[in-house]
């Protein structure tokens, strides 16, 4: 009589052990991803991570592991609220595992201990990270370490309405030759103001719509500083630079644009919708934006024939000291210090997989961004897209990035405040420049070189 | 009847006061104390709030060079090497690296050294038992690293110990100097106030704030009084209707209220279309000109405050003995004379309250401006509270300067306290609160 119960208990014990083993092998992990500056055309910033999760789950299954990855994505269309959310969440120990943000955040966030250096979690010698463009890896690095993996790249061109250029006497050949004239420095920002004025005088655009710059703060405004010969960082010492002469040139240019009547004094703060409507609807003469705007104009603002309606070029030089330029502002996948090391390892694996050229190309083509690596640029889906390939060849090689430095935000904030003050004529250009100088000198001391 | 003990009565009073005291402590004193603490720090996104760690970075080495630290020490700090020694093997074991892998490292790489992580990792990848996950390989490699560069130490003690280990015969005081400079967290400072005092922008924002508070306050009090008095003289049904109508700005959620103002003043909005029909300049009135932006800001806040004033004033009007008004009518007083000689003198207390309360709340309110003009066009309608909020918590570059923002907020607290005292003296608050001279 004792045999059977023993036998039974043995079976029961085996069954129990087996079930424990199954439970031990089954693993559910939730990875959170937060992305800033992300609208409907940029959804692959998070979708790519979801696709990567699927691949990693399949790989785990083949290895005999039962892994379920749940991706919790959250996006913000703007930057102010997003950066506030990330910073405050991190301070309260609730940072998401993966952060998709501008590369310039690496400086302050790495200092405050918000980030894990991604180089400790991934292999840059292995596919697909070994084909990323080296300059983008540089942009994702700070203080000798690689903190992020580039998620996209872009350029920020100048745009001209072809029909309005024709209305003021440009021939098709002239329009074709315009980008080269901009690049050589023959066509400057002041030539542009003249053309914008002519368009208004010819009544093809309404007063104040000859020139429609970006309506609010953005990396774009550093381009105008560069147009007047400004540098943001001293290559030799690695220190931040404030070039008073370039800043004066830049502020004066916008004041002159107001004087000329091609842009209102109260322009800054105009809504994005107003801007999109005007530029995509061919109501503006000349403007500047980003390569990704083409996708938004087509998806939301009814643009049908981009190449027929618009010409594009670098941002023209402002004077002989400056140069025609464009800034690329890559977003990067960053690993936060939130969660366990195990979660971070998996998150890094997902980012690596999402950087696979075929997956990243979905984002690039859909959103009008540029490839992050050489292999991606040669994928037919990407290479055959006229806009992305044209921008990759024509604009990206001439693009530079804003510096990664934990103090750059102070300079940026002061620069934009000065621009607002001089543009609205609250301050004279000289006073505005002086105010910027005072502010950054007080805040940064000898951490900034003021020229 | 036994007289109650004054001691017991006081205890009871204290018990009644407790909830109010707790709320006061939690919602006023504590925030003020925290703001005061933050205001004397250089806290920002980069320093974090909860304290920092100690890291020697490439940038730090550059600034230490500028500060005159000797080249030999700088050179030693910048060195990074991977040495396969017994200590490293022990460390790898402690870090949970696979024993077989450690055995292979010991067997094939013992006593070798590498100058870069990539060279060492490439070598590790050739070993048969190398881990499949790159993270495990990096953890193994990290155990053999002999460097302080880019290593985060949680405490100063750990950093100093690591520096002592790394540097042979460092110059006197060098270790302390490096450890101090390597701190990533915030430090105490009074620079926030100094910088505010000399920043040219400060005076412009103060000017904006005074302009905004004075005009909005005047609108609040005068319109509030006007509404209360006019509705007082209306028949009850009519006065009820107008009171409810004027309450709308206050009871509408602030975001919805701001959106309604946008519809009202933006391109293709209500005012825009009317102006166009009348042949007047039609543009975005909220953001298109400085004068119209200020008008919108003052009206948006003015209407909310006016309805608040109206409720309080109406209540106070109801407390005026109606016989006084009848008597004045018998004496042939006009409406204006009734208002001037009967109503207004008895409204001193509610006017004091509305004026002081609204001054303080206008000084610290920024939500409506943030949601409507956002301080624009440019930064022409930026007031102190909005600037403090943007500095500390919400700006495009993500550079949140908690310390500077708190200093700005503390200035507001100080101004608020001073103004409260001024108001109390101006309206002779103590006289109003004193016991009546006639016993009832």
A287 plus A369 within the same structural domain: no
Task: Tell me which residues of chain A, numbers 236 to 275, contact chain B at a CB-CB cutoff of 8 Å.
Answer: 237-238, 264-271, 274
β-pairing, B81-83 with B113-114? antiparallel
A240 plus A356 within the same structural domain: no
Q: Which helix (H) or strand (E) holds A336?
A: strand A331-336
3-state SS, residue B253? coil
pLDDT digits (tens, 9 = 90+) for A32-51: 999 998 988 899 999 999 99
How far does the CA of residue A342 sit from the closest CA of chain B (Å)?
A: 9
A1 within domain boundaries: no
> Looking at A377, A400, A423, which one is the last position of a domain?
A400
A6 within domain boundaries: no
Contact, B88 vs B143, CB < 8 A? Answer: yes
A79 within domain boundaries: yes
- Segment B76-94 mean pLDDT: 89
Mean pLDDT score across all residues of chain B = 88
CA angle in degrees (0–180, nearest 5) for A271-A276-A277: 100
Beta-carbon separation of B200 and A446 below 8 A: no
3-state SS, residue A370? strand
How far does the CA of residue A4 sit from the closest CA of chain B (Å)?
A: 43
pLDDT at B140 over 70: yes
pLDDT at A427: 85
Which of A79, A113, A117 to substitute to test the interface with B, most B CBs within 10 Å? A113
For tokens 């880019």, the residue is B150
How far does the CA of residue A112 sit from the closest CA of chain B (Å)?
A: 5
Which of B294, B377, B381, B386 to substitute to test the interface with A, most A CBs within 10 Å? B377
A201 plus A285 within the same structural domain: yes
Strand runs labelled E in B280-399 = none
**Is A217 near chain B, with CB under 8 Å?**
yes
Beta-carbon separation of A409 and B399 below 8 A: yes
CA distance B55 to B181: 9
A93 plus A212 within the same structural domain: no
A63 plus A148 within the same structural domain: yes
What the block records as the tokens of B390 is 């943007």
A3 within domain boundaries: no
A364 plus A394 within the same structural domain: yes
For tokens 């990848």, the residue is B125
Annotate B393-405 with b (16+ C-beta within 10 A) or e (fewer).
Answer: ebbbbbbbbbbbb
A185 plus A127 within the same structural domain: no
Which of A143, A283, A432 to substitute to test the interface with B, most B CBs within 10 Å? A143
A85 within domain boundaries: yes
A128 plus A200 within the same structural domain: no
CA distance A79 to A74: 13
- Chain A CB contacts of B397 under 8 Å are 83, 104, 217, 408-409, 412-413
Here the CATH number for the domain that contains residue A357 is: 3.40.190.10
A45 plus A193 within the same structural domain: no
Cα separation values, B23 from A16, A160, B37, B251, Å = 55, 60, 20, 24
Counting one residue from chain A and one from chain B, the pairs whose CB atoms sit within 8 A come to 166
The residue in chain B having the minimum alpha-carbon distance to the alpha carbon of residue A114 is B48
Contact, A196 vs A284, CB < 8 A? Answer: no
A229 plus A253 within the same structural domain: yes
How far does the CA of residue A101 sit from the closest CA of chain B (Å)?
A: 10
Beta-carbon separation of A439 and B201 below 8 A: yes
Q: Which of B46, B288, B373 sits opposite A108 (nearest CB)?
A: B46
pLDDT at B322: 86
The lowest-confidence range among A304-313, B208-217, B314-323 is: B314-323
- Chain A CB contacts of B207 under 8 Å are none
Q: Is B369 exposed, middle or buried (0-12, 13-18, 19+ CB in 10 A)?
A: buried
Q: Which of A348, A349, A409 sits opposite B398 (nearest CB)?
A: A409
Contact, A68 vs A26, CB < 8 A? Answer: yes
Strand runs labelled E in A151-281 = 158-161, 211-212, 240-242
A435 plus A365 within the same structural domain: no
User: CB-side exposure of A435: number of CA atoms within 13 Å?
Assistant: 26
pLDDT at B278 over 70: yes
H helix runs in B182-199, sequence order: 191-198
pLDDT at B174 over 70: yes
- Segment B313-330 mean pLDDT: 88
H helix runs in B185-289, sequence order: 191-198, 200-233, 236-251, 254-265, 270-277
pLDDT digits (tens, 9 = 90+) for A202-216: 999 999 999 999 998
The pTM for the full model equals 0.86
pLDDT digits (tens, 9 = 90+) for A274-315: 899 999 999 999 999 999 999 999 989 999 999 999 999 999
What the block records as the tokens of A195 is 């053309």
What the block records as the tokens of A383 is 């290479």
A115 plus A174 within the same structural domain: no
> Looking at A365, A383, A400, which one is the last position of a domain?
A400
Beta-carbon separation of A426 and B378 below 8 A: yes
- Nearest CA to A405 among A82, A95, A102, A89? A102
How far does the CA of residue A69 sit from the closest CA of chain B (Å)?
A: 17
Q: Which residues contact A310 (CB under 8 A, 6 or more apart)?
A: A159, A160, A161, A162
Q: Is A391 left (phi over 0), alpha (psi -120 to 50) or beta?
A: alpha
User: CB-side exposure of A380: number of CA atoms within 13 Å?
Assistant: 0
Which of B208, B397, B403 to substitute to test the interface with A, most A CBs within 10 Å? B397
pLDDT at A22 over 50: no
- Segment A18-24 mean pLDDT: 48
pLDDT digits (tens, 9 = 90+) for A229-259: 999 999 888 889 999 999 999 999 999 999 9
pLDDT digits (tens, 9 = 90+) for B308-318: 899 899 889 88
CA distance A99 to A423: 35
Sign of CA dihedral A110, A116, A120, A125: negative
Q: Which residues contact A220 (CB under 8 A, 6 or more apart)?
A: A156, A213, A214, A288, A289, A290, A327
φ, ψ at A327 (rounded to 5°): -110, 135
- Segment B242-262 mean pLDDT: 88
Annotate A364-377 with b (16+ C-beta within 10 A) or e (fewer).
Answer: bbbbbbbbbbebbb
Its domain, for residue A305, covers 158-327+407-450
A7 within domain boundaries: no
How far does the CA of residue A36 sit from the closest CA of chain B (Å)?
A: 11
Total domain count, chain A: 2
Contact, B82 vs B113, CB < 8 A? Answer: yes
What the block records as the tokens of B190 is 């009074």
pLDDT digits (tens, 9 = 90+) for B341-372: 989 888 888 888 898 889 999 999 999 999 99
- Chain A CB contacts of B374 under 8 Å are 269
- Chain B CB contacts of A143 under 8 Å are 57-59, 150
For tokens 């102006």, the residue is B275
A415 within domain boundaries: yes
What the block records as the tokens of B404 is 């500077």
Contact, A291 vs A157, CB < 8 A? Answer: yes
């Amino acid at each position: 009589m004792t045999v059977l119960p023993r036998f039974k208990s043995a079976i029961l014990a085996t069954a129990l052990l087996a079930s424990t083993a199954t439970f031990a092998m089954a693993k559910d992990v939730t990875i959170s991803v937060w992305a800033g500056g992300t609208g409907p055309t940029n959804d692959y910033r998070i979708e790519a991570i979801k696709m990567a999760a699927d691949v990693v789950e399949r790989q785990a299954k083949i290895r005999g592991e039962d892994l379920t990855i749940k991706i919790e994505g959250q996006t913000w269309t703007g930057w102010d609220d997003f950066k506030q959310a990330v910073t405050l969440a991190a301070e309260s120990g609730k940072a998401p595992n993966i952060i998709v943000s501008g590369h310039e955040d690496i400086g302050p966030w790495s200092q405050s201990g918000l980030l894990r250096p991604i180089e400790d979690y991934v292999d840059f010698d292995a596919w697909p990270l070994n084909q990323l463009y080296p300059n983008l890896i540089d942009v994702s690095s700070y203080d000798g370490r690689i903190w992020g993996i580039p998620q996209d790249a872009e350029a920020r061109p100048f745009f001209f309405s072809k029909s309005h250029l024709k209305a003021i006497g440009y021939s098709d050949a002239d329009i074709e030759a315009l980008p080269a004239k901009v690049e050589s420095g023959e066509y400057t920002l002041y030539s542009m103001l003249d053309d914008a004025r002519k368009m208004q005088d010819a009544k093809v655009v309404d007063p104040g719509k000859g020139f429609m710059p970006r309506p609010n703060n953005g990396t774009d405004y550093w381009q105008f500083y560069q147009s007047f010969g400004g540098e943001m960082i001293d290559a030799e010492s690695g220190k931040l630079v404030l070039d008073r002469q370039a800043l004066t040139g830049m502020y004066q240019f916008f004041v002159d644009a107001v004087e000329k009547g091609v842009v209102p004094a109260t322009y800054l703060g105009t809504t994005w919708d107003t801007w999109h409507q005007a530029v995509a609807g061919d109501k503006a003469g000349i403007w500047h934006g980003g390569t990704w705007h083409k996708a938004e104009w087509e998806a939301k603002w009814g643009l049908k024939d981009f190449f027929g309606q618009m010409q594009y070029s670098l941002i023209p030089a402002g004077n002989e000291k400056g140069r025609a330029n464009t800034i690329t502002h890559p977003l990067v996948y960053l690993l936060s210090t939130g969660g366990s090391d195990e979660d971070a390892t998996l998150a890094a694996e997902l980012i690596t997989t999402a950087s696979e050229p075929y997956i990243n190309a979905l984002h690039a083509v859909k959103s009008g961004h540029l490839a992050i690596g050489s292999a991606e640029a040669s994928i037919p889906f990407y290479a055959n897209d006229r806009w992305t390939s044209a921008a990759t060849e024509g604009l990206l090689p001439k693009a530079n990035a804003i510096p990664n430095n934990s103090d750059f935000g102070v300079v940026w904030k002061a620069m934009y405040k000065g621009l607002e003050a001089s543009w609205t004529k609250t301050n004279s250009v000289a006073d505005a420049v002086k105010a910027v100088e005072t502010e950054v000198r007080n805040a940064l001391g000898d951490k900034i070189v003021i020229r | 009847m036994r007289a109650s003990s004054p001691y017991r009565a006081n205890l009871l009073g204290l018990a009644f006061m407790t909830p109010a005291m707790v709320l006061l402590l939690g919602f006023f004193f504590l925030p003020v104390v925290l703001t005061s603490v933050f205001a004397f720090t250089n806290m920002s996104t980069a320093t974090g709030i909860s304290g920092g760690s100690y890291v020697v970075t490439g940038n730090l080495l550059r600034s230490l060079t500028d500060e005159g630290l000797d080249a030999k020490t700088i050179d030693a700090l910048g060195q990074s090497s991977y040495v396969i020694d017994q200590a490293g093997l022990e460390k790898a074991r402690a870090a949970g690296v696979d024993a077989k892998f450690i055995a292979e490292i010991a067997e094939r790489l013992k006593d070798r050294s590498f100058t870069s992580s990539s060279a060492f990792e490439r070598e590790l990848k050739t070993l048969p038992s190398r881990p499949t996950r790159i993270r495990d390989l990096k953890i193994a490699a990290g155990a053999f690293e002999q460097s302080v560069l880019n290593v985060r130490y949680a405490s100063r003690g750990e950093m100093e110990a690591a520096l002592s280990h790394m540097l042979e015969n460092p110059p006197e005081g060098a270790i302390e100097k490096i450890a101090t400079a390597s701190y990533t967290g915030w430090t105490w400072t009074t620079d926030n106030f100094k910088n505010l005092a000399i920043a040219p922008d400060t005076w412009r924002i103060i000017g904006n704030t005074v302009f905004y508070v004075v005009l909005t306050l005047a609108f609040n009090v005068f319109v509030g009084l006007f509404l209360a008095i006019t509705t007082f003289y209306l028949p009850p049904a009519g006065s009820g209707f107008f009171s409810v109508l004027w309450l709308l700005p206050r009871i509408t959620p602030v975001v919805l209220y701001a959106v309604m103002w946008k519809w009202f003043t933006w391109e293709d909005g209500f005012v825009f279309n009317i102006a166009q029909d009348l042949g007047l300049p039609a543009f975005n009135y909220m953001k298109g000109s400085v004068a119209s932006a200020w008008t919108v800001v003052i009206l948006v806040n003015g209407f909310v405050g006016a309805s608040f004033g109206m409720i309080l004033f109406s209540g106070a009007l109801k407390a005026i003995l109606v016989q006084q008004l009848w008597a004045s009518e018998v004496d042939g007083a006009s409406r204006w004379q009734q208002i001037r000689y009967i109503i207004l003198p008895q409204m001193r207390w509610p006017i004091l309250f509305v004026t002081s309360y609204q001054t303080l709340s206008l000084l610290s309110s920024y939500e409506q401006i943030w949601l409507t003009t956002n301080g624009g066009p440019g930064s022409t309608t930026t007031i102190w509270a909005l600037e403090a909020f943007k500095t500390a918590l919400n700006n495009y570059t993500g550079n949140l300067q908690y310390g500077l923002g708190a200093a700005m907020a503390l200035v507001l607290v100080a101004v608020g306290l001073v103004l409260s005292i001024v108001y109390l003296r101006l309206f002779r608050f103590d006289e109003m609160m004193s016991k009546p001279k006639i016993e009832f």
